[in-house]
Amino acid sequence: MLFNSTEYLIFLPIVVCLFWLCPFKYRTALLLLASYVFYMTWRPIYGLLMMGLTIANYFIGLTMSNSPSQGKARKRFLVTGIWLNVLALCFFKYAYFCRDSANSVLALVHCQLPKIPFDIILPLGISFFVFEFIHYLVDVYRGSAPVKNFLEFALFPSFFPTQIAGPIKRYQDFCPQLKKPQKLTVQEFDTGIELLLFGLFKKVIVGDGIGMLVTRFFAHPELLTSVDAWLACYAFAFQVYFDFSGYTDIARGSAQLMGFKVPLNFNLPFLSQSFAEYWKRWHISLGMWLKDYVYIPLGGSRGGRFCAERNLFLTMLIAGVWHGAAMHYVVWGAYQGLALSLHKEWRHWADNVSFLKKIAESKPFKPFAILLTFNTFVFGMAMFRSETIDTGLKMTQKLLFLSPPPVGLNAFNLTLPSLSGSAIYPMLPLILIILAIGQILADRFPGPINGIAPIPPRLRFVRPVYLAAMACALMAFSPDIAPQFVYFQF
C-alpha cells in the first residue's frame, strides 16, 4: 500500500477514526493490527519475518537488561542480536549481490557459485526496521531501560507511517508516547492534514513529475551533452529530495493525526555550507544512526585526524552499501566518505591557518560554500542514479566535460528538452530554478521546514484556500498509477 494510493486514502481515515473512538488501553493493539495489515497488503508472508525479528529482539533486549552490566553474557546477547538482524538484512538484500560479486572473482579461475534455487524478494522497509532493532539492542546494552510491554515494542518498528521508509525512530522518543493518552485538538488535526497534503504535493506533483524526465535522461546517457548531464543530475537531486521528504511529511502528518510525533528527516539540505552539515540535514535519522552505531563504535574522532577520516570513510561506505546491493552504490558511498574526509581535512587547515580561517569566515564565502556543497552532492548523484557502474562512469565523464566530442560549442549548447506529457514540466531548467528559489525562501521563513506554510495570522483565511488548492492540484495532476517512492525497497 503506497501513501499516494487510493487504498491508503481509505485506510488512513478508517484507522484514525477507530483510533480516536477506541479506549486508550486498546489503542496500541489497534495500531499494531493496522500496521501489520498495512505491511501485509504487499506480501503477507513478510509479516511473519517482521514478527519473528520483533519477538527475537524483544527477548534478547529483556535478557540483556537482566544480565549484569559488566558481564560477558550481556555482550554475547548483543552480538547475537546484531548478527541476527544483520544476517536477516544481508540475506534478503545482499544474497544476489554477494553471489554475483563472488562469481565475478571466481570467473578468473573459471569457477562459479551455484544459482540460488528460489527467488529472494526484498521485504519492504527491512533496512529501516533492522536499523531500529539494532539501535534498540545497543541502547539497552549501554544501559537504557528496555521496553517491557510486548505490544509497545512490536509497534515501535512496525508503526505504519514510518514502517516502509523511516524516519528511523528512537524507542526512547517513540514508546513513551504510547503510555500517555493522546489528545486530538483542532490545531493538531489541521497540522496533520497540512503535512499530509504538503507531503503528497511534494511527492506526486514535484518528485514524480521530475522523475519522469530523469528516467528519460538516464535511459539514454549516450545522447546527453554535458549540460544535459548536469541538468539530469540536478533534476535527480531534487527528485530524491522531494520524493523522500514528501514521504516523510506524509508519515509525520499521518502520525500527527493520531497524536504521535515523528522526527524530522530533512532540514533544507541543499542550503548546507559544508558536506558535514549536509549529512546533518539530509536523511537526518540515518545520519544520526550511522554516527551513533557505526562511526562512534569504530572510534569516531578519537585517535587523531586520520583515524577520524578513515572512520568517516568506512561509515559512508556502509551507508552506500545500505542504500543498495550494487557496486555503484558502494562507489557512491565511497565518494560520500571521501567528500566528508576532505571537508574534515579542510576544517583542520581552516582552523589552523589564519589566512584560510579568514576566507572561511568571510561573508562571500557562505554562498560559495553552499554552491560547492550542493554541486558536490549533485556530482555524486550521477553514480547513485545510474543502474550500473558503466552508466555511472559515462555520466560522470559528461559531468566533467570529458565525453566525446571534445569540449566545444556542442557541449555548451543550451539544449532544453521540451517534452510532452504532464502539463507541469515543459522546461526543466526553469523548474529547477524555481525549486532552488523555493529552498531559499523556505529558509527565510519559519514553518516550511516543518511542512507548514508561513501564512501570517492576519491572513489566516488564506490557509483553507491554500489547502484546498493543494488538494485540487493533487487530484488533477496525480497519475492513475502511483509510481513508487525512490526509497521504497530499501
Partner 1 sequence: MPEGPGRSESSPIRWRSGGGRVLADQAQDVQPISVEHWPNPKLSPIFILSTQPKLVIVGLLDRLLPFALRSLLTPNVPLVMATGEVGYNRGSCPILVIVITSPLNRFKKTAGVLRSSNALMALLVVFGLNLTFLCFHPFLKADPDALPSARSWVWWATQDYMHLHHEPPRVVLLGSSMVMNASWLQEAAYIKKDVDFVVNHRSTYLESVIEKHIPGAKATSFNFGMPGEMISDGYMIQRALFNGAEKPKVVALCLGTRDFMDTSFDCAAGTKPFQYLERFTDTHDLLELSMPNIWQRKNFYIKEFVYFEGQKWPIQVTLSEHIKNILHPLVAAFCKPSALDIQSEHDKQYAFYRSDIEKGVWVAHPTTPYHYYDNSGDWQRRHKNPNQKMFDNQLKWLELSLERCKKENIAPVIVNVPISPIALSLIPAQVYKRHVDTLQAVAAKYGCLYVDSNAKQTFVAQDFTDVCHMGASGGKKLLDIVGQAIADDARASMALTPSGSRVAGQPGAEIH
212 binds partner 1 (CB under 8 A): yes
C-alpha cell at 209: 513529475
Q: CB 473 → partner 1: shortest distance, Å?
A: 8
239 binds partner 1 (CB under 8 A): no
419 binds partner 1 (CB under 8 A): yes
Q: Which is nearer to partner 1, 13 or 303 (CB)?
A: 13
422 binds partner 1 (CB under 8 A): yes
Angle between helices 208-219 and 428-444 (to 10 degrees): 140
Nearest Cα to Cα of residue 389 among 334, 465, 319: 334
468 binds partner 1 (CB under 8 A): yes
CA distance 468 to 488: 28
217 binds partner 1 (CB under 8 A): yes
The stretch near partner 1 (CB under 8 A) out of 165-173, 208-216, 321-329, 352-360 is 208-216
Q: CB 405 → partner 1: shortest distance, Å?
A: 13
CA distance 292 to 482: 35
Which residues fall within 8 angstroms of residue 424, CB to CB, at 6 or more apart?
205, 209, 431, 477
Give CA separation, 202 vs 28, 137, 196, 344, 359, in Å: 30, 35, 10, 33, 37
428 binds partner 1 (CB under 8 A): no
From candidates 40, 51, 62, 193, binder to partner 1 by CB under 8 A: 193
From candidates 139, 228, 249, 309, binder to partner 1 by CB under 8 A: 228
20 binds partner 1 (CB under 8 A): no
CA distance 395 to 236: 13
From candidates 105, 108, 434, 476, binder to partner 1 by CB under 8 A: 476
Q: CB 40 → partner 1: shortest distance, Å?
A: 19
477 binds partner 1 (CB under 8 A): yes
CA atoms within 13 A on the CB side of 454: 11
Place of cell 497488503: 41
Q: CB 465 → partner 1: shortest distance, Å?
A: 6
Angle between helices 389-399 and 226-256 (to 10 degrees): 110
Q: CB 410 → partner 1: shortest distance, Å?
A: 10
The stretch near partner 1 (CB under 8 A) out of 70-78, 139-147, 170-178, 462-470 is 462-470
Cβ contact 89:130 at 8 Å? yes
189 binds partner 1 (CB under 8 A): yes
CA distance 109 to 412: 47
CA distance 369 to 364: 9
b/e string for 25-39 if b means 16 or more Cβ within 10 A?
eebbebbbebbbebb
From candidates 5, 276, 375, 417, binder to partner 1 by CB under 8 A: 417
CA distance 465 to 100: 54
Q: Which is nearer to partner 1, 99 or 463 (CB)?
A: 463
Nearest Cα to Cα of residue 129 among 153, 92, 156: 156
CA distance 319 to 329: 9
- 186: three-class secondary structure by DSSP: helix
223 binds partner 1 (CB under 8 A): yes
411 binds partner 1 (CB under 8 A): no
- Say which of 283, 323, 328, 343 is annotated catalytic: 323
Q: CB 415 → partner 1: shortest distance, Å?
A: 4
44 binds partner 1 (CB under 8 A): no
CA distance 227 to 410: 10
Q: CB 187 → partner 1: shortest distance, Å?
A: 9
66 binds partner 1 (CB under 8 A): no
484 binds partner 1 (CB under 8 A): no
CA distance 425 to 431: 7
216 binds partner 1 (CB under 8 A): yes
The stretch near partner 1 (CB under 8 A) out of 15-23, 53-61, 383-391, 460-468 is 460-468
415 binds partner 1 (CB under 8 A): yes
CA distance 222 to 380: 18
418 binds partner 1 (CB under 8 A): yes
Place of cell 488533477: 476
Chain positions 335 to 354 lying near partner 1, rule: CB under 8 A, are: none
475 binds partner 1 (CB under 8 A): yes
420 binds partner 1 (CB under 8 A): yes
CA distance 455 to 143: 45
220 binds partner 1 (CB under 8 A): yes
In the residue annotation, 323 being an active-site residue is answered as: yes
* Site residues (vs partner 1, CB under 8 A): 6, 186, 189-190, 193-194, 212, 215-217, 220, 223-225, 228, 413-423, 426-427, 460, 463-468, 471-472, 475-478
Could you give the residue numbers annotated as active site? 323
